[in-house]
A and B are shown apart, each in its own frame.
Chain A
Amino acid sequence: MLGFGKKNQSPSSRDMAVGRLKMVLPADRVDGASQMLEMMKKDMLEVIRKYVEIDENDFDIQICPPSGGNDSPDSRIKADIPIKNVRRRR
């Protein structure tokens, strides 16, 4: 009901607060996830080593925030793991 006289040209400070939080919180959460990433890395190393030889120091894993465009609207995990040698399977 109290809608009359409402200015439409500039966003309300409420909208600005909501918008700014929606920008800053995903970044905060990714920072907080770095510990989780280390644990994930440890587990992945264990699994991958069953099949191929890899060097722990070359193992690069990161969480990338959404780029904003339609191509990648979600955060994603990117891992880059050079293979030293493929194990011979019996």
Chain B
Amino acid sequence: MSEVFVITSGKGGVGKTTTTANIGTGLASHSKKVVMVDADIGLRNLDVVMGLENRIVFDLVDVVEGNCRLKQALIRDKTFSNLFLLPTAQTKDKSAVSPEQMRKLCAQLREDFDYILIDCPAGIEQGFKNAIAGADKAIVVTTPEISAVRDADRIIGMIEASELPPPLMILNRIKPEMVLRGDMMTLEDVSEILAIDVLGIVPDDESIIISSNKGEPCVLDSKSLAGQAYRDITRRILGESVPLMDLYKSDGFLNKIKNFFSR
């Protein structure tokens, strides 16, 4: 019944951790039991994005090494009592965990949670192999930049070579005004090049930075456009059919005038 998603990208800095935090919080807001696992050993970040950095006692490596019980390491979210974080270790290296241990951990988490989200480290090395080991499905986050798309292609190839089904894509940080003037690849360009189905699009939005400054995922901010994008993505994961957000409808001076007169 439970599902394990790995959120991956290849390239660093395209928004894996933000995506994990927002989808996790989004699913929890629909009353699902959710745990987010930070698999980026040595570069702990999901805790600060969630605003939970002061509550960490044990971590992922403590759990797999048997220094503590799994439940001792899980940190309950500030807002949702049905949302938990398993933080990663900050001082160990990636070899501290094996794919087999990750599979075992995921199997254990399935007993208590509806959704398990694994925040994958950047790169195609051991950390990536660990992160995908226990997963059922993969989500590839990319941005409409040539380097991010190239790395996403490598990751998609590696996911297809594993036993996972074809991954889904979230195209992050779209700037509609750049797309309109022909200076940014469109969703259609990227999904066609990568030959991948789309789970969602997220506009480039200042509210992402503001929300991570505060440690409160923007999916809960009703005024945030990126928040709306993550609410849509959450509902798609829950099986609803939600059309892709129209990023171009109220953009530009001409449309603003048109909208004004059509009121």
List A residues at the B interface (Cβ < 8 Å): 1-2, 6, 12-15, 17-18, 20-22, 24-25, 28-29, 32, 35-36
Contacts and interface: CB of A to CB of B under 8 A. Distances in A.
Interface of B: 145-146, 149-150, 153-154, 157-158, 161, 179-186, 189, 193, 252, 254
B146 A15 contact: no
Contacts of A14: 179, 182-186, 189
Contact of B150 (A1, A2, A21, A36): A21
Given A17-B185, A21-B146, A25-B153, 12 more contacts: A1-B254, A6-B182, A12-B181, A12-B182, A14-B186, A15-B182, A18-B185, A20-B146, A22-B193, A29-B153, A29-B157, A36-B161
Given A20-B146, A28-B150, A28-B153, A12 B185 contact: no
A35 B180 CA distance: 41
Given A14-B183, A14-B189, A21 B149 contact: yes
Nearest to B194: A25
A18 B154 contact: no
5 contacts: A14-B179, A14-B185, A17-B149, A32-B158, A36-B161
The 6 closest A-B pairs by CB, nearest first: A12-B182, A13-B183, A17-B146, A32-B157, A14-B182, A18-B189
Contacts of A17: 145-146, 149, 185, 189
A6 B145 CA distance: 23
A20 B186 CA distance: 15
A36 B158 CA distance: 12
Contacts of A24: 150
Contacts of B254: 1
A20 B180 CA distance: 20
Nearest to B145: A17
Contacts of B161: 35-36
